[in-house]
Amino acid sequence: MSLPLSMTDTVAGLRDEVQSWREAGYTVGFVPTMGALHAGHISLVRTALQRADRVVASVFVNPAQFAPGEDFETYPRTLEEDAAKLAEAGCHLLYAPTVREMYPTGFASAVHVDGPAFGLESQTRPHFFGGVATVVTKLLNQVRPDTAVFGEKDYQQLLVIRRLVTDLDLGVEIVAGETLREGDGLAMSSRNAYLSAEERGRAGQLNLILKDLAQEAASGKPLETSLLHARTRAEEVFDAVDYIEIRNAHTLQAIETETLEEPARVLAAVRVGKTRLIDNMAV
Protein backbone atom coordinates (compact mmCIF):
# COMPACT_ATOMS: atom_id res chain seq x y z
CA MET A 1 0.00 0.00 0.00
CA SER A 2 1.34 3.39 -0.88
CA LEU A 3 1.47 6.43 1.37
CA PRO A 4 -0.58 9.51 0.47
CA LEU A 5 1.26 12.15 -1.58
CA SER A 6 2.64 15.07 0.44
CA MET A 7 3.03 18.46 -1.21
CA THR A 8 5.30 21.42 -0.51
CA ASP A 9 6.22 24.59 -2.33
CA THR A 10 9.22 25.59 -0.18
CA VAL A 11 12.84 24.45 0.12
CA ALA A 12 12.37 24.29 3.91
CA GLY A 13 9.32 22.01 3.60
CA LEU A 14 11.18 19.79 1.14
CA ARG A 15 14.25 19.52 3.37
CA ASP A 16 12.15 18.73 6.46
CA GLU A 17 10.43 15.84 4.70
CA VAL A 18 13.65 14.45 3.18
CA GLN A 19 15.38 14.83 6.56
CA SER A 20 12.66 12.75 8.26
CA TRP A 21 13.16 10.05 5.61
CA ARG A 22 16.91 10.11 6.16
CA GLU A 23 16.42 9.73 9.90
CA ALA A 24 14.26 6.66 9.22
CA GLY A 25 17.08 5.22 7.09
CA TYR A 26 15.29 5.51 3.75
CA THR A 27 17.02 6.07 0.41
CA VAL A 28 15.69 8.92 -1.72
CA GLY A 29 14.94 9.10 -5.45
CA PHE A 30 14.14 12.26 -7.40
CA VAL A 31 12.34 12.99 -10.66
CA PRO A 32 12.53 16.64 -11.80
CA THR A 33 9.78 17.71 -14.23
CA MET A 34 8.16 20.81 -15.67
CA GLY A 35 4.71 19.31 -14.98
CA ALA A 36 2.00 18.64 -17.58
CA LEU A 37 2.75 15.04 -16.69
CA HIS A 38 2.13 12.23 -19.15
CA ALA A 39 2.83 8.48 -19.07
CA GLY A 40 6.51 9.14 -19.86
CA HIS A 41 6.96 11.10 -16.64
CA ILE A 42 5.09 8.47 -14.64
CA SER A 43 7.46 5.86 -16.05
CA LEU A 44 10.38 7.91 -14.66
CA VAL A 45 8.66 7.94 -11.25
CA ARG A 46 8.26 4.14 -11.43
CA THR A 47 11.97 3.81 -12.26
CA ALA A 48 12.81 5.95 -9.21
CA LEU A 49 10.49 3.86 -7.00
CA GLN A 50 12.36 0.71 -8.04
CA ARG A 51 15.62 2.24 -6.87
CA ALA A 52 14.73 4.21 -3.76
CA ASP A 53 12.50 3.88 -0.69
CA ARG A 54 11.03 7.36 -1.06
CA VAL A 55 10.54 9.45 -4.20
CA VAL A 56 10.25 13.22 -4.69
CA ALA A 57 8.95 14.62 -7.98
CA SER A 58 9.37 18.32 -8.66
CA VAL A 59 7.12 20.41 -10.90
CA PHE A 60 8.77 23.67 -11.88
CA VAL A 61 8.53 25.50 -15.20
CA ASN A 62 11.98 27.06 -15.13
CA PRO A 63 12.03 30.53 -16.70
CA ALA A 64 15.85 30.45 -16.93
CA GLN A 65 15.78 27.82 -19.70
CA PHE A 66 13.32 29.67 -21.96
CA ALA A 67 14.43 32.47 -24.29
CA PRO A 68 12.19 35.48 -25.00
CA GLY A 69 9.64 34.39 -27.62
CA GLU A 70 9.73 30.74 -26.52
CA ASP A 71 6.73 29.14 -24.79
CA PHE A 72 7.39 29.91 -21.11
CA GLU A 73 4.08 31.78 -20.71
CA THR A 74 1.98 29.23 -22.56
CA TYR A 75 3.71 26.05 -21.33
CA PRO A 76 0.89 23.86 -19.96
CA ARG A 77 0.42 24.08 -16.16
CA THR A 78 -1.77 21.32 -14.75
CA LEU A 79 -0.68 20.98 -11.11
CA GLU A 80 -3.88 19.36 -9.80
CA GLU A 81 -3.88 16.66 -12.46
CA ASP A 82 -0.11 16.22 -11.97
CA ALA A 83 -0.63 15.64 -8.22
CA ALA A 84 -3.36 13.06 -8.89
CA LYS A 85 -1.13 11.15 -11.33
CA LEU A 86 1.85 11.23 -8.95
CA ALA A 87 -0.32 10.02 -6.05
CA GLU A 88 -1.62 7.14 -8.15
CA ALA A 89 1.92 6.18 -9.18
CA GLY A 90 2.99 5.96 -5.52
CA CYS A 91 5.22 9.06 -5.48
CA HIS A 92 5.73 10.29 -1.90
CA LEU A 93 6.33 14.03 -2.22
CA LEU A 94 5.45 16.64 -4.84
CA TYR A 95 7.73 19.67 -4.65
CA ALA A 96 6.31 22.57 -6.64
CA PRO A 97 8.25 25.73 -5.79
CA THR A 98 7.33 29.20 -7.05
CA VAL A 99 9.70 31.17 -9.28
CA ARG A 100 10.34 33.48 -6.33
CA GLU A 101 11.29 30.53 -4.10
CA MET A 102 13.81 29.35 -6.69
CA TYR A 103 15.11 32.75 -7.78
CA PRO A 104 14.66 35.25 -4.94
CA THR A 105 15.61 38.92 -5.33
CA GLY A 106 19.39 39.24 -5.60
CA PHE A 107 19.89 35.85 -7.25
CA ALA A 108 23.16 36.20 -9.17
CA SER A 109 24.63 32.75 -9.93
CA ALA A 110 24.69 30.53 -12.99
CA VAL A 111 26.11 27.14 -13.87
CA HIS A 112 27.58 26.68 -17.33
CA VAL A 113 28.41 23.37 -19.01
CA ASP A 114 30.38 22.95 -22.25
CA GLY A 115 31.29 19.54 -23.69
CA PRO A 116 28.04 17.68 -24.48
CA ALA A 117 26.10 20.97 -24.39
CA PHE A 118 27.92 22.15 -27.50
CA GLY A 119 25.80 22.25 -30.71
CA LEU A 120 22.46 20.50 -31.46
CA GLU A 121 19.91 22.08 -29.06
CA SER A 122 22.37 24.88 -28.21
CA GLN A 123 22.43 25.95 -31.86
CA THR A 124 18.76 26.92 -31.72
CA ARG A 125 18.51 27.55 -27.96
CA PRO A 126 21.90 28.99 -26.90
CA HIS A 127 20.85 29.71 -23.31
CA PHE A 128 18.89 26.51 -22.77
CA PHE A 129 21.50 24.29 -21.11
CA GLY A 130 22.77 27.11 -18.90
CA GLY A 131 19.24 27.45 -17.53
CA VAL A 132 18.90 23.68 -17.18
CA ALA A 133 22.29 23.26 -15.48
CA THR A 134 21.56 26.04 -12.99
CA VAL A 135 18.12 24.78 -11.99
CA VAL A 136 19.23 21.13 -11.84
CA THR A 137 22.18 22.07 -9.61
CA LYS A 138 19.76 23.88 -7.32
CA LEU A 139 17.19 21.07 -7.30
CA LEU A 140 19.79 18.36 -6.66
CA ASN A 141 21.26 20.40 -3.80
CA GLN A 142 17.81 21.04 -2.37
CA VAL A 143 16.72 17.37 -2.47
CA ARG A 144 20.15 15.68 -2.08
CA PRO A 145 18.77 12.39 -3.44
CA ASP A 146 20.69 9.13 -3.84
CA THR A 147 19.29 8.72 -7.35
CA ALA A 148 17.75 11.09 -9.89
CA VAL A 149 15.96 9.96 -13.05
CA PHE A 150 16.11 11.93 -16.32
CA GLY A 151 14.34 10.88 -19.52
CA GLU A 152 16.31 9.78 -22.60
CA LYS A 153 13.78 11.77 -24.65
CA ASP A 154 16.02 14.77 -23.82
CA TYR A 155 19.19 12.85 -24.60
CA GLN A 156 21.56 15.80 -24.88
CA GLN A 157 20.18 17.16 -21.60
CA LEU A 158 20.81 13.76 -19.98
CA LEU A 159 24.48 13.89 -21.04
CA VAL A 160 24.83 17.52 -19.91
CA ILE A 161 23.46 16.56 -16.50
CA ARG A 162 25.79 13.56 -16.18
CA ARG A 163 28.69 15.93 -16.99
CA LEU A 164 27.46 18.51 -14.50
CA VAL A 165 26.99 15.98 -11.70
CA THR A 166 30.50 14.59 -12.24
CA ASP A 167 32.14 18.01 -12.58
CA LEU A 168 30.50 19.68 -9.58
CA ASP A 169 30.67 16.53 -7.38
CA LEU A 170 26.92 16.55 -6.79
CA GLY A 171 27.11 13.01 -5.38
CA VAL A 172 23.95 11.58 -6.99
CA GLU A 173 23.50 8.62 -9.31
CA ILE A 174 21.89 9.73 -12.59
CA VAL A 175 19.59 7.10 -14.11
CA ALA A 176 18.29 7.30 -17.69
CA GLY A 177 14.55 6.68 -18.15
CA GLU A 178 13.50 5.23 -21.50
CA THR A 179 11.35 7.24 -23.91
CA LEU A 180 7.66 6.29 -24.00
CA ARG A 181 5.95 6.54 -27.40
CA GLU A 182 2.41 6.84 -28.78
CA GLY A 183 0.94 4.16 -31.07
CA ASP A 184 2.58 5.69 -34.19
CA GLY A 185 5.90 6.02 -32.41
CA LEU A 186 5.71 9.75 -31.57
CA ALA A 187 7.80 10.34 -28.44
CA MET A 188 5.57 11.45 -25.55
CA SER A 189 6.05 15.12 -24.72
CA SER A 190 4.07 17.78 -22.89
CA ARG A 191 4.44 19.92 -26.01
CA ASN A 192 2.50 17.37 -28.12
CA ALA A 193 -0.61 19.03 -26.59
CA TYR A 194 0.12 22.06 -28.83
CA LEU A 195 -0.40 20.03 -32.05
CA SER A 196 -3.53 20.39 -34.20
CA ALA A 197 -4.99 17.14 -35.59
CA GLU A 198 -3.28 17.74 -38.94
CA GLU A 199 0.07 18.49 -37.26
CA ARG A 200 -0.32 15.46 -34.98
CA GLY A 201 -0.67 13.30 -38.10
CA ARG A 202 2.64 14.54 -39.48
CA ALA A 203 4.46 14.48 -36.11
CA GLY A 204 4.55 10.68 -36.08
CA GLN A 205 6.90 10.72 -39.09
CA LEU A 206 9.83 11.98 -37.00
CA ASN A 207 10.54 8.71 -35.20
CA LEU A 208 10.15 6.76 -38.46
CA ILE A 209 12.73 8.92 -40.21
CA LEU A 210 15.13 8.50 -37.25
CA LYS A 211 14.52 4.74 -37.11
CA ASP A 212 15.38 4.38 -40.83
CA LEU A 213 18.43 6.62 -40.39
CA ALA A 214 19.67 4.51 -37.48
CA GLN A 215 19.15 1.30 -39.49
CA GLU A 216 20.98 2.67 -42.54
CA ALA A 217 23.89 3.87 -40.41
CA ALA A 218 24.06 0.53 -38.58
CA SER A 219 24.03 -1.36 -41.90
CA GLY A 220 27.31 0.31 -42.94
CA LYS A 221 25.98 2.80 -45.51
CA PRO A 222 27.97 6.04 -45.85
CA LEU A 223 26.74 8.41 -43.13
CA GLU A 224 26.52 11.43 -45.44
CA THR A 225 24.18 9.59 -47.81
CA SER A 226 21.94 8.37 -45.00
CA LEU A 227 21.82 11.82 -43.39
CA LEU A 228 21.00 13.51 -46.71
CA HIS A 229 18.19 11.02 -47.23
CA ALA A 230 16.75 11.58 -43.74
CA ARG A 231 16.99 15.37 -44.01
CA THR A 232 15.30 15.39 -47.41
CA ARG A 233 12.42 13.30 -46.08
CA ALA A 234 12.10 15.51 -42.97
CA GLU A 235 12.06 18.69 -45.03
CA GLU A 236 9.16 17.32 -47.07
CA VAL A 237 7.09 16.52 -43.96
CA PHE A 238 7.93 19.30 -41.49
CA ASP A 239 7.77 23.09 -41.55
CA ALA A 240 11.42 23.40 -40.56
CA VAL A 241 14.28 21.06 -39.67
CA ASP A 242 16.56 22.47 -36.92
CA TYR A 243 18.90 19.47 -37.14
CA ILE A 244 19.12 15.78 -37.91
CA GLU A 245 22.48 14.34 -36.82
CA ILE A 246 24.39 11.17 -36.01
CA ARG A 247 26.73 11.74 -33.07
CA ASN A 248 28.96 9.80 -30.70
CA ALA A 249 26.58 8.34 -28.10
CA HIS A 250 28.74 9.33 -25.13
CA THR A 251 30.23 12.70 -26.10
CA LEU A 252 27.81 13.90 -28.82
CA GLN A 253 30.87 14.85 -30.84
CA ALA A 254 30.70 14.72 -34.63
CA ILE A 255 31.63 11.39 -36.23
CA GLU A 256 34.62 11.75 -38.51
CA THR A 257 34.55 8.35 -40.23
CA GLU A 258 32.71 7.73 -43.51
CA THR A 259 30.76 4.81 -42.06
CA LEU A 260 29.89 4.08 -38.46
CA GLU A 261 32.67 2.67 -36.22
CA GLU A 262 31.66 3.93 -32.78
CA PRO A 263 28.60 3.85 -30.46
CA ALA A 264 26.23 6.42 -31.92
CA ARG A 265 22.92 8.16 -31.43
CA VAL A 266 20.65 9.79 -34.01
CA LEU A 267 19.09 13.05 -32.85
CA ALA A 268 16.65 15.49 -34.43
CA ALA A 269 14.67 18.67 -33.81
CA VAL A 270 11.95 19.79 -36.23
CA ARG A 271 9.07 22.26 -36.30
CA VAL A 272 5.46 21.29 -36.97
CA GLY A 273 3.48 24.52 -37.19
CA LYS A 274 4.58 26.49 -34.15
CA THR A 275 5.57 23.39 -32.17
CA ARG A 276 9.16 22.23 -31.84
CA LEU A 277 9.60 18.46 -31.53
CA ILE A 278 12.78 16.63 -30.55
CA ASP A 279 13.55 12.92 -30.64
CA ASN A 280 16.54 10.58 -30.62
CA MET A 281 17.41 6.90 -30.61
CA ALA A 282 20.36 4.55 -30.29
CA VAL A 283 21.99 3.26 -33.48
250 a catalytic residue: no
CB 139 within 8 A of CB 32: yes
Q: Does 197 bind a second copy (CB under 8 A)?
A: no
In order, the DSSP letters of 174-242 are EEEEPPPB-TT-PBP-GGGGG--HHHHHHHTHHHHHHHHHHHHHHTT--HHHHHHHHHHHHHHHSSEEE
Task: Give residues with Cβ within 8 angstroms of 47, minimum separation 6.
Answer: 149, 175, 177
Site mask, a second copy, residues 74-113, x = CB under 8 A?
--------------------------------xxxxxxxx
C-beta closer to a second copy: residue 167 or 258: 167
Q: Does 167 bind a second copy (CB under 8 A)?
A: yes
CB neighbourhood size of 274 (10 A): 12
Among 67, 98, 171, 225, binds a second copy (CB under 8 A): 171
Total binding residues toward a second copy, as defined by CB under 8 A: 28
Q: Does 249 bind a second copy (CB under 8 A)?
A: no
Annotated active-site residue in 41, 92, 112, 229: 41
Least distance from a second copy to the Cβ atom of residue 166, Å: 8
Beta strands across the sheet bearing 275-282 = 240-248, 264-272, 275-282
Annotated binding-site positions for beta-alanine = 65
Binding region for a second copy (CB under 8 A): 11, 15, 106-117, 133-134, 137-138, 141-142, 144, 163-164, 167-171
Residues annotated as part of the active site: 41
